């Protein structure tokens, strides 16, 4: 039974990790207005363009503030700081956007 619970938790994390918004890093399963097929959540992208033009530094500030408000552990904050740079919107090659 414990094993099943653990596997369900790992599976959920795995799905969350694979479905992160490619701009802010939020798992889109938490986005109630998410448009299926979009690489971005509804807070970042309205289907036509990004809701707000910003750089990676500004996004990091924003996410840091959100995680702080949710009292996320330091490890998670550190992880997201690093993880943001790997997302499609912030990768160096503009051709991948």
Q: How is residue 50 written in tokens?
A: 């990004």
The count of chain residues that interact with Zn ion, using the rule CB under 5 A, is 5
Sole window of 8-16, 21-29, 50-58, 86-94 interacting with Zn ion (rule: CB under 5 A): 21-29
Q: What would the two tokens of residue 83 be?
A: 């993880």
24 sits near Zn ion (criterion: CB under 5 A): yes
Q: What mask, x for binding Zn ion by CB under 5 A, covers residues 33 to 72?
A: --------x--x----------------------------
Q: Does 28 bind Zn ion (CB under 5 A)?
A: no
CA-wise closest residue to 31 among 22, 40, 23: 40
CB 44, CB 21: distance < 8 Å: yes
> Given candidates 23, 34, 87, 89, which one binds Zn ion under the rule CB under 5 A?
23
DSSP 29-60: GG-TTPPTT-SS-TTTB-SSSBSS---HHHHH
State the residues that interact with Zn ion by CB under 5 A: 21, 23-24, 41, 44
């Amino acid at each position: 039974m414990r094993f099943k619970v653990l596997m369900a938790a790992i599976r959920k994390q795995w799905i969350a990790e694979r479905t992160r918004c490619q701009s802010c890093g939020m798992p889109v399963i938490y986005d109630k207005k998410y448009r299926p097929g979009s690489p971005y959540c509804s807070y970042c992208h309205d289907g036509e363009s990004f809701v707000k033009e910003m750089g990676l530094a500004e996004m990091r500030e924003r996410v840091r503030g959100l995680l702080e408000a949710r009292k996320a552990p330091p490890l998670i904050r550190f992880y997201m700081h690093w993880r943001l740079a790997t997302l499609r919107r912030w990768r160096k090659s503009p051709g991948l956007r």
